[in-house]
Each structure stands twice: as structure tokens, then as C-alpha cells.
Chain A
């Protein structure tokens, strides 16, 4: 085996790939060859490091130098200076990772990583996800070996039960209970499924796990299969995640080659095979019964429960379905014990949770924190606060099923139960931060727009009800709403919640209910004053030209797509309000800042 003196880890997650990390890898290879050190330095494409805002990211070991926002032209400098002469290129380092004395700080001491605890993401950004040997070197498949050779299925379920882990997909159902129900069904064909149909807008935790550590999910599914007595598994994954699909398929092929999937695993009687099924872009397929209907090849419509999937699931056989993040915890629980896991987190929510933090926040990216961490810690410390000196207004968790958490509740510890009690929900882990420029009525409308589009149409409350709610919100944001509309919204929301068939409909009104609960004054401002306080809702805005500042240069009029601006050269121009479509082109083109919106 070739021993190298340095490792260059380049993030190959979707975020960094989109900002050009593939080009970096090929550039590193060229430059290393040019310097004649291609045999001394190894370039590794890893999973996500988490700090997507600063991508593409490169870490050079053994020094642990964390280079951020690297461009292809920087590569030569890193190779020549750092790798050839041993001088770290301080100006390209992530500034948080450099001490006042210009030394490199360990990543665990930077604001972003300090409060994180990585269990699910432990291998992401550390190993090359396309090489099974690297996973095995980090205790990979050891848990499966232990389960198959030392434990009975009952003992496996017992460990998972005592760990207290609850489903990471959103609802927080105890994982061990599902397994127990399925295990108790009479012997015969049973299925193990993995929900990787991460549909919440703004959530990318599961994708990063599959891209960065796919074997962890495969190993966990094999463990689950052993616990319930199944021989066949399916991973249902979004087709929109091409990198994750590719790495997962590669990982499955490698596991088969190593005898870790297939017949008689570890020379026992246990056999397990795994197949990928691609989703096709339907949000409702994240719902468990809809997902199974989709695997069967039909329109992904949910089925009434009971019978629950543990009794009659895929092809009418007992089936368990867990989320990617839930599975990624399982091998660690088996290896370190139930007590270890149960010691992390709060009384009723054990372990850690991965959040995809996005929106108006400095450190956009992926963070994993122990349950019970407060929203303030995530936003202000790990997230590095709000950009451009703006003020925090709300954080949205749980996507289209969740709610908004206002500033007054920013110290709420994040766990399943406290989030539910304030009208939000854990959801799968999307956490979108909003500042004073976000209009809460508009956000509610945005989510309703999403659910109207994604409602499968099977049950009337969701199909018709969400549409009606969306119409009312449309009315309010265009300045035609009345106070009665707000009352109607509340009534509609409550009946949709109580009468819809599946989780999508039952939670669809949450964004409206939670914004009404904490930001009713904004709704009233739209209805009574006909104003959008955040300046978002176009029908309530007016663009005006400041006569003092306007130099009559004609640039705005030339760029206006609907010729709504008139005037004479060198004299103040004017906007004809009836013609204006409020596209904002004039505001962005004006060289004198003379155009403003109110």
C-alpha cells in the first residue's frame, strides 16, 4: 500500500459540487503532478463538511488546514506553498480557524463546530464515500457483525428501545416500536424500507448522509432486517439527488462484492438484499403508505391506516419504514450501547438531530446538535447570526408541515415535544431563518402554494381545503382581504387538520396557524391598513421616484419592460402607477438611488 504524507480532502457534496469542487479535484491532480509530488499526496473526494456557505471547501491533513471558498486558481498556490514547501496559505484559510497568533485552530474550536456533536455525520467529510474500505476502517459493518454473531433479534430491538431513539423523519414515532410490531407478525416475506424521499424545501440532511456515508444506511438496514426477519429492502430516494443515487448504488455493489449484502452474510443463515427505487418528484411520497404505493408502481397516494405498514405494508406484507437519519444512528447505538445514546439529549428526545440551516443566516449548512440545544445557540452561535446587520424575525422548522418560531421563543430547547407545544414541529430538519425583510403572510402563502401543488387529490379536505386557504391568502396579500377572511382561515385550517387522510393534509395548515398565532398583526396590517410591513407583497407596494435625487438620466425609463416611466431628459421622471408591474428593474438600475418602494 502506498503511504502518503498528506491528504487533501475536497468536499464532493452537492453544495460544493455546485460551486465547482469537481474542477478543484482535477486541478489538484494537475498541479500535484506538475510539482512531482503526486505519489506523496492523496486527493480524496469526501462527503459534506457542513459549512456549505463557504464552499467549495478543502481540508489538508495532517495539519487540518481548513481552506474555504477555494477557486481553481488558488490550487497552484496551495500545492506550491503548503504541500511542497510546508507553508500554510493563511490568507485562504477559513478565518474562524486561524488564531490571533496565526496558528491553525482545531475545527472543533470554531464557532460553527464547537457546539456540534457528530454521530450521524461522523464520517461525512472524513472518509471517501466511494470506498467501502474507508468505511470499514472507521468501524464500519462491525455493528452488523456483532448483531449477527452475538445477538438475537429480540436483543437488537431491546437495545434500540432502551436507546430511546425516535424517528427522524418528522413525527418522532419510537423506532423500536415499529420494529417490534413487524417482528411479531407471523414469519414470511417482510420488507425493510428506507425513506430517502427528502421533499421538504430547504432540507438536505438525508442527502448529505447518503452522499457522505452511504454504507452506514446500508448497514443499519441489514440490522433492521435481521431484527424483524426480512430478506429484502428498498431505498426510496429522490431522483433529484443524482450524486447520492450514484454513491448509494456504488456502495450497494461494493457491499455485495464483500459479502456484506446477499446470501449468508458473515457465514450465518441471514441473507439480505437491497434495491434502490427512484422517486419521481411527489412530495406526498414522503408519507409512508404513499411511498409504498409508489414503490409498487402506482400514483403515490396514501392509504388509510390501520392496517399499519408493520402489519400490511409493501405488497400487503409487514414492512418497516425508517428515515435515512434514523438508520444512520443505528450502527452507533449497537456499538456504543443504548445507555450511551440515551445519555445524549433531553428526557424524551434522545440523541442528536441534524439540521439544514438556511435562509437569512451567515453560516448556511448542515449542523448536528444534541437534542435540547436552543434555537438561539443554532442561529447566533453556530449559524453566526443574520447577515447585513438585519434582525432575526422567525425561524421555520418542519417545512410545509411545520411552523414559525418567533424571536420571543428563541430560547426554546429544540426537541420533539417542546416544538409541538409552540405550534411548530421537528420535521425532518429543515431550519430556515427569516429576517425583518420576510413577510410572514407571504411565507404562509408560499407553503400553502406548495401543498396545493403537492396534494395528491385523494381526499377532499386536503385537495379542496388547501386550495381555498390559498385563495384567501392570495386575497389578503393583494390587499383585498377582510377581517372575516382571517376568521375563515382559522376555521378552515382546523377542519382540514382534523379530517385529512394523511400527514400531508393534517399538517398543511400549520404554517398558516403558526404565523397567525405569532404574527397576527402582520395579517391585520395587510387587511386593514393595506400595507405589507416587510415590503414583500407586490400589490401593496408602490415604486416612487424621489424628485430631489432624480437626475433625469432616462436609464429607468429605458429599462422599464412596460414603459410605465415617463419624463423628459434632465428633469425628474415619474412612474405611472396603473401601468407599473412592480418588477423592481428600475430600482436596481437607477444609479442615483432615487427609486424606492414603500
Chain B
């Protein structure tokens, strides 16, 4: 098995303070784990083991349980996202309209696999579940930008915008 590149954790004291405030706010609330993890991911962008440890200590929940929750839910990620996060919808409506081919085209063009980040940290690629814009199928998003009613030939043009 190939050894996975891990990008070192670069949390700042400000981020840590923000997380501690969140933990303090939720500490006595029943079922706090998931809301706190959502906030932690918003603060850090992802949930590396260092962040999971802080949540575990703050909420007094075993690290194993936190790790179990993080890896169970697809929204939580232990990998950082690229500067441009490309998400291709693989919901049924998009799939029957060819989003499978679209994701293959992006993979070939950028050399990035689904669920990972390019070495320069520029692009990450994700195959998402239905994002609910079925009227625009097939759909992909790059960070906040939504591209809909796609055909294969659109892909190069879209990627060119971000490659510059």
C-alpha cells in the first residue's frame, strides 16, 4: 500500500480559542458531539486527529468514540480540501445525464483521484450525493460556484478558469 502524503497540522491559537468557546457553549447540551464537530470543521476546514483530541478532551468523550463519529459521517473529513474544491454531483438525476463521464474527465485532466487533493494543494475532487439542483443536472460546484446543464465539452473551459 502506498504511503499517503499527510499535510502537517497548522492550527493557530485563534482557531483553538474559537473551538474552546464552541466546546464551552455545547458542553452541557445533550448529544453535543456532532454539533461541535460541525463547528470544528467550519473553523479548521477539516478534522485531523489533533482537532479530534481537543474535542475529545473538551467534551470528555473518549477519542475512539469521536473518531468513530468522524469516520461514520461523510460530511466530516480528515483530509484538508484544496484551494479549489470540485464537487461533482452523482445523484441519480445527474448520473443518468452523464455525470459519471464528467468526473472521469476531471480525473484525467487534473490527475486527482476522487476523495483526494492534488500535491500542490490546489485542487481536491469529491463525488457528492445529490445536492438537490436536479433541474440543472448534471451539476458540479467549484467552491461556491455552481455549474449546471453541463456537457463534457464544458469541462476543459471550466477547469481552465481555475488553472491560471
B91 and A364: CB pair below 8 A?
A: no
Q: A202-B91, A278-B38 are in contact. Are A52 and B136 (CB under 8 A)?
A: yes
The A-contacting residues of B in range 39-96, CB under 8 angstroms, are: 65, 68-69, 72-76, 90-93, 95-96
A561 and B92: CB pair below 8 A?
A: no
Q: Chain B nearest CB: distance from A554 CB in Å?
A: 18
| Residues of chain B contacted by A364 (CB below 8 angstroms) | 93, 134-135, 137
Measured CA separation A201–B97 after assembly (Å)? 13
Name the residue among A277, A298, A588 with the largest chain B CB count within 10 angstroms.
A298
Measured CA separation A364–B130 after assembly (Å)? 15
Q: A14-B132, A15-B133, A278-B38 are in contact. Are A239 and B75 (CB under 8 A)?
A: yes
A-contacting 9-mer, from B2-10, B13-21, B101-109: B101-109
| Residues of chain B contacted by A495 (CB below 8 angstroms) | none
Q: Verify if B163 is at the interface (C-beta below 8 Å from A).
A: no
A277 and B31: CB pair below 8 A?
A: yes
Q: Chain B nearest CB: distance from A584 CB in Å?
A: 6
A201 and B34: CB pair below 8 A?
A: no
B-contacting 9-mer, from A131-139, A430-438, A475-483: A430-438
Q: Verify if A533 is at the interface (C-beta below 8 Å from B).
A: no
A-B CB pair tally, cutoff 8 Å: 136
Q: Verify if A41 is at the interface (C-beta below 8 Å from B).
A: no
Measured CA separation A453–B76 after assembly (Å)? 15
A201 and B129: CB pair below 8 A?
A: yes
Q: Verify if B125 is at the interface (C-beta below 8 Å from A).
A: no
B96 nearest in chain A by CB position:
A359
| Residue in A207, A299, A561 whose CB lies within 8 Å of B72 | A299
A281 and B134: CB pair below 8 A?
A: no
Name the residue among B37, B133, B134, B135 with the largest chain A CB count within 10 angstroms.
B135
Q: A15-B132, A15-B135, A364-B137 are in contact. Are A446 and B105 (CB under 8 A)?
A: no
Q: Verify if B33 is at the interface (C-beta below 8 Å from A).
A: yes
| Residues of chain A contacted by B132 (CB below 8 angstroms) | 14-15, 204, 207, 240-241
| Residues of chain B contacted by A19 (CB below 8 angstroms) | 135-136, 146, 148
A432 and B129: CB pair below 8 A?
A: no
| Residue in A201, A239, A432, A584 whose CB lies within 8 Å of B90 | A201
| Residues of chain A contacted by B33 (CB below 8 angstroms) | 297-298
B93 and A299: CB pair below 8 A?
A: no
Q: Verify if A18 is at the interface (C-beta below 8 Å from B).
A: yes
Q: Verify if A203 is at the interface (C-beta below 8 Å from B).
A: yes
| Residues of chain A contacted by B24 (CB below 8 angstroms) | none
| Residues of chain B contacted by A409 (CB below 8 angstroms) | none
| Residues of chain B contacted by A372 (CB below 8 angstroms) | none
| Residues of chain B contacted by A298 (CB below 8 angstroms) | 33, 65, 68-69
Q: Verify if A466 is at the interface (C-beta below 8 Å from B).
A: no
- What 1/0 mask marks residues of chain A from 295 to 338 whose CB sits below 8 Å from any chain B CB? 11111100000000000000100000000000000000000000
| Residue in B32, B91, B93 whose CB lies within 8 Å of A297 | B32
- What 1/0 mask marks residues of chain A from 206 to 241 whose CB sits below 8 Å from any chain B CB? 010000000000000000000000000000000111
| Residues of chain B contacted by A295 (CB below 8 angstroms) | 31
Q: Chain A nearest CB: distance from B151 CB in Å?
A: 8
How many residues in B have their beta carbons less than 8 Å from beta carbons of A? 42
Q: Chain A nearest CB: distance from B62 CB in Å?
A: 12
| Residue in B65, B93, B101 whose CB lies within 8 Å of A432 | B93
| Residue in A53, A202, A281, A359 whose CB lies within 8 Å of B73 | A281
Measured CA separation A281–B73 after assembly (Å)? 6
B135 and A294: CB pair below 8 A?
A: no
| Residues of chain B contacted by A204 (CB below 8 angstroms) | 130, 132, 134
B38 and A239: CB pair below 8 A?
A: yes
Q: Verify if B35 is at the interface (C-beta below 8 Å from A).
A: yes
Q: Chain B nearest CB: distance from A72 CB in Å?
A: 15
B31 nearest in chain A by CB position:
A297
B108 nearest in chain A by CB position:
A561
Q: Verify if B153 is at the interface (C-beta below 8 Å from A).
A: yes
Measured CA separation A278–B32 after assembly (Å)? 11
Q: A52-B135, A446-B95 are in contact. Are A18 and B101 (CB under 8 A)?
A: no
B129 and A199: CB pair below 8 A?
A: yes
A280 and B133: CB pair below 8 A?
A: no
| Residue in A55, A240, A279, A584 whose CB lies within 8 Å of B135 | A55
| Residue in B31, B129, B146, B148 whose CB lies within 8 Å of A240 | B129
Q: Verify if A365 is at the interface (C-beta below 8 Å from B).
A: yes
- What 1/0 mask marks residues of chain A from 503 to 530 whose CB sits below 8 Å from any chain B CB? 0000000000000000000000000000
B148 and A446: CB pair below 8 A?
A: no
Measured CA separation A53–B133 after assembly (Å)? 10
B38 and A201: CB pair below 8 A?
A: no
Q: Verify if A456 is at the interface (C-beta below 8 Å from B).
A: yes
Q: A19-B148, A202-B91 are in contact. Are A300 and B130 (CB under 8 A)?
A: no
Q: Verify if B30 is at the interface (C-beta below 8 Å from A).
A: yes
Q: Verify if B139 is at the interface (C-beta below 8 Å from A).
A: yes
| Residues of chain A contacted by B96 (CB below 8 angstroms) | 359-360, 432, 434, 438, 443
- What 1/0 mask marks residues of chain A from 246 to 282 whose CB sits below 8 Å from any chain B CB? 0000000000000000000000000000000111111
Sample of 28 A–B contacts (CB below 8 Å): A14-B133, A15-B133, A15-B136, A18-B146, A18-B148, A202-B92, A202-B130, A202-B134, A239-B75, A280-B74, A281-B73, A282-B72, A295-B31, A297-B69, A298-B33, A298-B68, A359-B96, A360-B96, A364-B93, A364-B134, A365-B135, A432-B93, A434-B96, A443-B96, A446-B92, A446-B95, A456-B72, A585-B152
Q: Using A52-B136, A282-B73 as known contacts, list a sample of 12 further A-B pairs with CB atoms less than 8 Å apart, ordered by residue number in A.
A: A14-B133, A203-B130, A240-B75, A279-B73, A358-B137, A360-B97, A396-B92, A430-B92, A438-B96, A561-B108, A583-B104, A585-B152
The 10 closest A-B pairs by CB, nearest first: A52-B135, A280-B73, A358-B93, A201-B91, A281-B75, A202-B92, A297-B33, A281-B74, A297-B31, A358-B134
- Interface residue ranges, A against B (CB under 8 Å): 14-15, 18-19, 52-53, 55, 199-204, 207, 239-241, 277-283, 294-300, 315, 356, 358-360, 364-365, 396, 399, 430, 432, 434, 438, 443, 446, 456, 561, 583-585, 588
